[in-house]
């Protein structure tokens, strides 16, 4: 195995970026024994899309999540780090529940405007 790919959505298990434990990835990092890691999808919801959630959804939460990544990725051999959506997806009848959960995990809003986290993400170097 040359690299281990992970999808990383801590907001599905904690309410705020600050609640992501420093050792969030430790069990998998120990198991892969130093192999390089590709985070193929990550992000945090940047807007409330009408779904009552257990997690915070805001532009500020996205920025704080990037700060959390600095903590949880420390000491990890990261080779690829990909925010899941550049643009917010449009809702359809077929994707409504998925849309409500994942659509705002984007770095731009519906109109294509950059969310505040956009520049922070571009400059992020774990």
What pLDDT score was predicted for residue 40?
96
pLDDT recorded at residue 96: 67
Q: Could you tell me the CATH number of the domain that includes residue 60? A: 3.20.20.80
pTM of the predicted structure, to 2 decimals = 0.89
14: domain range? 4-123
pLDDT digits (tens, 9 = 90+) for 16-73: 999 999 999 999 999 998 899 999 999 999 987 777 788 899 999 999 999 999 999 9
Helix (H) / strand (E) element for 63: namely helix 59-72
Complete edge-to-edge strand list for the sheet that includes strand 4-8: 4-8, 37-42, 78-83
* pLDDT per position as a tens digit, 80-117: 999 998 887 777 777 666 667 788 899 998 889 999 99
Q: Which long-range contacts (CB under 8 A, 24 or more apart) does 101-104 make?
A: 101/45, 101/51, 101/53, 102/45, 103/49, 104/45, 104/46, 104/47, 104/48, 104/49, 104/57
**Domain count along the chain:** 1
The size of the chain, in residues, is 126
């Amino acid at each position: 195995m040359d690299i281990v790919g992970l999808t990383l959505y801590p907001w599905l298990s904690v309410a705020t970026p600050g609640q992501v434990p420093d050792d969030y990835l430790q069990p998998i990092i120990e198991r892969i024994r130093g192999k390089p890691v590709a985070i193929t999808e990550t992000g945090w919801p940047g807007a409330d899309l009408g779904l009552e959630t257990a997690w915070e959804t805001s532009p500020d939460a996205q920025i704080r999540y990037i700060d959390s990544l600095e903590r949880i990725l420390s000491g990890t051999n990261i080779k690829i780090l990909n925010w899941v959506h550049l643009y917010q997806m449009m809702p359809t009848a077929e994707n409504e529940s998925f849309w409500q959960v994942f659509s705002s995990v984007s770095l731009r809003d519906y109109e294509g405007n950059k969310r505040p986290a956009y520049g922070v993400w571009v400059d992020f170097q774990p």
